[in-house]
Amino acid sequence: MKALCLIASLIAGILAGLLLIGLFAGWYLMRAPMVLAVYATPVSPTPIHFDTSTPFSQWTKVGTFPTLRECKAHRVDNERCVSEADPRLWW
């Protein structure tokens, strides 16, 4: 029974730590990599477009902001706001 309480306490501590990281993390303004299309399509009439299907780890950090609101205020079409605690940035 003591072991179960110890495990529950450890899990609660880990979850609390993750919550704090999420609450106090800053925000990155990220831009997808540009690619040159072989041919123009109706969806992408220009030969250069942004490949939003690539992992965030390959995107360019355009800026860093303390809040999501500030990040969104500076965002344009091909950019996204991503928390610096987001694990998708690591892969």
At 90 the pLDDT is 77
* 12-36: pLDDT as tens digits: 555 545 444 445 579 999 999 988 7
Name the pTM for this structure. 0.61
The Cα 29–Cα 64 span in angstroms is 6
- Collapsed DSSP state (helix, strand, coil) of residue 80: strand
Q: Residue 22 in contact with residue 54, Cβ under 8 Å? A: no
